[in-house]
Structure 1
């Protein structure tokens, strides 16, 4: 009886392997394939009595294969915060460029590195009549490192990421803590 069971199992395994070889693989396209493009980025708005935030940072990427993707984007962030008890308002702006690279060690999970060059400006407005103070405009480098998940949905994927600025420049728009992004990539 054991011989027949072993023979049946071997026959089943060989049949599955033979069937898997009969399936046709998609032909590999050479050159640029626009179906591998994806679009995403960050978009955020927040308005309140003491604070304002506007973030428009689109990105475009290309999925080279199952394991690698890369792309580029622009950053625009404006925030203001009114320190009511201290009597002043801080305005902070960022405009910059970024590139990113992603490695997918397993399906739907990726590691990302994103170097950036951001032009920053800071201005303080005082309620008591003192003149406004404007810090020197400055180009601030950032190097974001993080891990994320791309959860397939429709014609794209929901993106959930945790990132951290590895360079920690004092005027980094990202501060000194990990931060989280949630979004959607079209054409994943």
Structure 2
């Protein structure tokens, strides 16, 4: 618990030490400097292999509001082995989907986020313990509504920021990939 308090104090101090500048002129039309690109990438390899690519693109409509599109792509493979090391089954999981996101910034670096999305999920299980080998495939869809908030720390010049956030799927569909746990992510949003 002390670590959480320390992290909050450090974030507040960083907030007080920096400020992010946004144009406040009244020019109409598209302003490239308000464009945001970011997302997350993750990978792990071994008997359990995971590759996750989840880009976002958005636009900062005002100092208090940003919105955009999110894409989800996640692939994983798992080998289950017997005590002698022989592979007894393989499990493949893939998820493709996406949706919209919106952020409200009550103060410059803290934001609230809503992200409705829909994911198509496929699973395949190959069982080598049966003769003949059996393969079971399923594909289904899962809606989600992620709500939460986060912190955006400006980095460098311009509109780039390090972002950390915690979201939670409030729909809790039976097939949701998020289950009953928070989604914690960190990354970089790059402004132009």
TM-score band w.r.t. shorter chain = 0.7 to 0.9
**Aligned match of 1:169:** 173
8 Å contact kept, 2:141–2:175: no
Residue 76 of structure 1: how far off its partner (Å): 0.7
**Aligned match of 1:133:** 136
**Aligned match of 1:41:** 39
Partner SS state of residue 35, structure 1? helix
Q: Does 1:58 align with 2:55?
A: yes
Residue 126 of structure 1: how far off its partner (Å): 1.2
**Could you list the runs of 5+ residues in structure 2 that have no partner in the other structure?**
1-22
Q: Which has the higher contact order (CA 8 A, sep 6+)?
A: 2
**Aligned match of 2:27:** 29
The correspondence of residues 12-23 of structure 1 with structure 2, limited to 5 A, is: none
Residue 42 of structure 1: how far off its partner (Å): 1.5
- Normalising by structure 2, we get a TM-score of 0.78
Q: Does 1:75 align with 2:79?
A: no
CA distance in 2, matches of 1:95, 1:157: 26
Q: How many residues align?
A: 162
CA distance in 1, matches of 2:55, 2:164: 16
Residue 80 of structure 1: how far off its partner (Å): 2.2
**Could you list the runs of 5+ residues in structure 1 that have no partner in the other structure?**
1-24
- Cα RMSD (Å): 1.9
CA distance in 2, matches of 1:27, 1:179: 36
Partner SS state of residue 52, structure 1? strand
